Each structure stands twice: as C-alpha cells, then as structure tokens.
C-alpha cells in the first residue's frame, strides 16, 4: 500500500527538528528507523503532512558513559545497542532486550528513541527500562519549562496503550540507565511467531547480599496496555533467600490483580499464565 502525500524535511540538529515541529502546526511526524511509523502510514492510519527525518543527527546517535551508568542516544539502533560493550556491561537488561527485537533488518534500522516514544505494549525496551530504573531525556520548546529539556523516569513515562508522558513538540533525545553491573538480570520473552513482538516479556534485576534479596525490579510487557513494574512479585522477593522455592512463590504472583490484554492469539488467562512462567524463568536466570 502507498501512504498519502507528505512533505519530507531533514533536520541537521535537534534544535532544527524542534523548529520544524513547531512550524508544522502539529501536522508532522519524526522519522528515525520508521518501523512503526511507515506501516501506519501505508495503512492510512497516520497521515502526517510533513515527515521530519532525524536519523542523521550525530548528537542523537551517541552511546557514552554517564556517571557510573550509560547514556544511549535516541537514534542508536537496536543492533548497535545489543553489540555495544559499554551497554552490555552497564545496562545488560537493555542490551538483552535490544538483541531479541524483530529480525536482523529491524535491528539494523530501528532505534531506541522511536520504540520508546511509540510505546507499543508488546515492544521489548519498556520492561527492560522499567527494571533498570532508566530515565528518558526529552527536549521540547523552551516554553514547556526547564529551558525545553526535562527528564522523565521510566516509571512515569509509559502511561497507557501507545501513550507516553511526552508533550506536544517534544523529542526523545536519550535514554540514561544507571549502572546495573552489580545485579543479576535477565530478559525473557514469548515472541509472537510472525512479528517477534512480545506476547509476554519479563525483565528482572535482582541485587543480593549473603544470598538474600536486597533489591528487586520486575517488569512485564506484552501482557497489558502498557509495560509495568510488578510490585507484588518485587515485595515477595525483597528480603527473601533466593532459593528455588522463593523464586517459584514470587513468580506465582505475577500480573495478579492486573487487567490484561486479550486477542485472537492469546487471551487474558493465557497471558496471565505466561506472565508467571516467564517471570519465573527470568528470576531463575538472574539469580543463577
């Protein structure tokens, strides 16, 4: 299918992209990898008057140390993130999620900023970012306050189905992840056989001291309208000795009390079952 007619513009900097967005009167979309936007345009589900290409902005592509963590530019591709030693050491959950997105072609072109901003409930990054206590950096018009720049905790960023805390005219510029190197972590997912999106994805980060859990982060994607931290599983883990029994008991609480998605491939009961299975698998892998 062919998308509706649009005007193509390419931005050389974030500031220029922001000006182009402002000039469009709300009728523009940002293009980086395009794996979410272009299919929607071909189906005429999205018909922007202007396409603003931000894929060649150098400042959006950098991956660099940030304090004791790592700052990943919004235009960094999934493949680059998955293969980056710095990300693998400092933010292993994010690297693991990047490595199982789609297929080789998708990983070579798709970007973390586009995926995060699109907020598909079945995308792999959101759970990994939630379990890593990540922060989303965004920039917008100076009139939005804070000189146009602000930081949004991942826990506050993913709001609902395809809905984030981004405001009109804002651009995701980077994702910052505090050092996760001292924690055991794992991302496990049950992929849809055609799209490779997560029917259920479980991201786990667990810190221990003397065999007892001192901090637990457990997040799920694919099962609900938005990725979420599972406080019931986390509460069951913290302070517990992480043997097989404790892992099994905590995983049994996964997705309890949550309204889950249901479709022709997987109904709500099946997704709830998957949540418990894949949280257990992720916890088992993370705790060795």
Instruction: Give tens-digit pLDDT for 250-266.
Output: 999 999 999 999 999 99
DSSP state of 110: -
Instruction: Give tens-digit pLDDT for 44-67.
Output: 888 888 999 999 999 999 999 998
Binned at pLDDT 50, 70 and 90, residue 142 comes out as: low
Could you give the CA distance from residue 166 to residue 101 in angstroms, rounded to a whole number? 23
- Residues facing residue 64 across a β-bridge: 71
> Which CATH number does 60-177 carry?
3.30.465.10
DSSP state of 111: B
- How is domain 7-53 classified at the CATH fold level? 3.30.43
Q: What is the pLDDT of residue 147?
A: 55
Write down the pTM of the prediction.
0.94
| β-sheet with 69-73: strand ranges across | 63-66, 69-73, 171-177, 135-139, 149-153
Q: What is the pLDDT of residue 144?
A: 47
The first and second tokens of residue 225, run together, are 């309208």
Could you give the CA distance from residue 104 to residue 4 in angstroms, rounded to a whole number? 28
Boundaries of every domain in the chain: 7-53, 60-177, 184-286
Instruction: Give tens-digit pLDDT for 202-245.
Output: 999 999 998 899 999 999 999 999 999 999 999 999 999 999 99
- Please say if the pLDDT value at position 141 is more than 90: no
| Neighbour count for residue 48 (Cβ, 10 Å) | 20
Residue 34 Cα to chain centre, angstroms:
16
The first and second tokens of residue 154, run together, are 């991942």
- Residues facing residue 219 across a β-bridge: 203, 229
> Which CATH number does 184-286 carry?
3.30.390.50
């Amino acid at each position: 299918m062919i998308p509706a007619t649009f005007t193509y513009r390419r931005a050389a900097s974030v500031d220029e992209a922001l000006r182009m967005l402002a000039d469009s009167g709300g009728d523009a979309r940002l293009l980086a990898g395009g794996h979410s936007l272009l299919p929607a345009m071909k189906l005429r589900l999205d018909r922007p008057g202007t396409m603003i290409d931000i894929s060649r902005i150098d400042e959006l592509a950098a991956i660099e140390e940030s304090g004791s963590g790592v700052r990943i530019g919004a235009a960094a591709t999934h493949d680059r993130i998955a293969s980056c030693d710095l990300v693998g050491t400092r933010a292993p959950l994010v690297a693991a999620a990047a490595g199982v997105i789609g297929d080789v072609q998708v990983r070579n072109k798709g970007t973390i900023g586009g995926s995060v901003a699109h907020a598909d409930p079945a995308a792999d990054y959101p759970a990994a970012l939630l379990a890593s206590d990540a922060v989303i950096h965004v920039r917008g018009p100076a009139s939005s306050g804070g000189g146009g720049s602000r930081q949004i905790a991942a826990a506050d960023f993913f709001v609902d189905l395809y809905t984030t805390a981004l405001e009109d005219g804002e651009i995701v510029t980077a994702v910052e992840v505090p050092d996760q190197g001292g924690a055991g972590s794992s991302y496990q997912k049950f992929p849809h056989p055609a799209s490779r999106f997560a029917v259920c994805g479980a991201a786990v980060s667990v810190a221990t001291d003397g065999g007892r859990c001192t901090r637990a982060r457990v997040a799920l994607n694919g099962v609900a309208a938005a990725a979420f931290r599972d406080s019931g599983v986390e509460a069951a883990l913290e302070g517990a000795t992480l043997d097989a029994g404790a892992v099994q008991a905590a995983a049994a609480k996964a997705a309890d009390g949550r309204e889950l998605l249901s479709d022709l491939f997987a109904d709500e009961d099946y997704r709830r079952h998957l949540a418990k299975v894949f949280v257990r698998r992720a916890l088992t892998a993370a705790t060795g």
